[in-house]
Amino acid sequence: MKGKINERGIMLGISEYAVPKIIKIYEDSGSVEKRPKGGSRHTKLTEEITSRLIDLINDENLYTLADIQHHLGIEVYPSIVWKWLKKLIYSWKITSSIPERRNDDVVKSERVEYIRWYQSFNRHKRYTNIIYIDESPFNLHIIKTHA
């Protein structure tokens, strides 16, 4: 019996492995209509949500993804909100605060003093005894290496 069912499925262009699944679905639900395939769910991004999202970003662009999610009043993961923003060609960057003291007059004068102190060394000592700590190999050509 199983062989005949699989043969009929092949004649109809259905995989022999799909036939038992179709029979089980028919026995459970009484329907053999094609069901939606797996994968990503239908998106909840509607025209209304899109316009609200754009208005929200244009009004105040300092929201986090969780804030946007809260203001929209929908239950989706923050990663979904991020995908919507990318779809609308918005970028999301994390900014860091710069302390006020960084550009204070006192700090600037300390920088000038440091440069004057550094330049007080003779040139040979200045360039041979420096260790550059950097993420890029920008200064590698300055230091002579020995094998």
Question: What are the pLDDT digits (tens) for 26-57?
Answer: 888 887 777 666 655 555 778 888 888 888 88
Per the domain annotation, does 137 fall within a domain? Answer: no
Across 7-11, 85-89, 113-117, 139-143, least confident range: 139-143
Whether 84 and 104 map to the same domain: the answer is no
Q: Is residue 37 part of a domain?
A: no
* Residue 106 maps to a domain: yes
d(CA 87, CA 89): 5
- Residues 1, 23, single domain; the answer is yes
H or E segment and range at residue 56: helix 47-59
Query: How much is the pTM?
Result: 0.38
Is 95 inside any structural domain?
no
Domain range for residue 20? 1-32
Give the separation between CA 80 and CA 68, rounded to whole angstroms.
Answer: 11
> Does residue 79 share a domain with residue 53?
yes
pLDDT digits (tens, 9 = 90+) for 55-71: 888 887 778 888 888 88
Q: Is residue 126 part of a domain?
A: yes
- Cα dihedral: 35, 36, 41, 42 (round 10): -110
Is the residue at 94 inside a domain?
Answer: no
Q: Answer whether residue 140 is part of any domain.
A: no
Task: Tell me if 105 is assigned to some domain.
Answer: yes
Structure confidence at residue 147 (pLDDT): 46
Residues 51 and 78 reside in one and the same domain = yes
16 in Cβ contact with 10 (< 8 Å): yes
Q: Based on the fold, state whether residues 51 and 84 are members of the same structural domain.
A: yes
Domain co-membership, 84 together with 53: yes
Counted domains in the chain: 3
Q: How many CB atoms lie within 10 A of CB 53?
A: 20
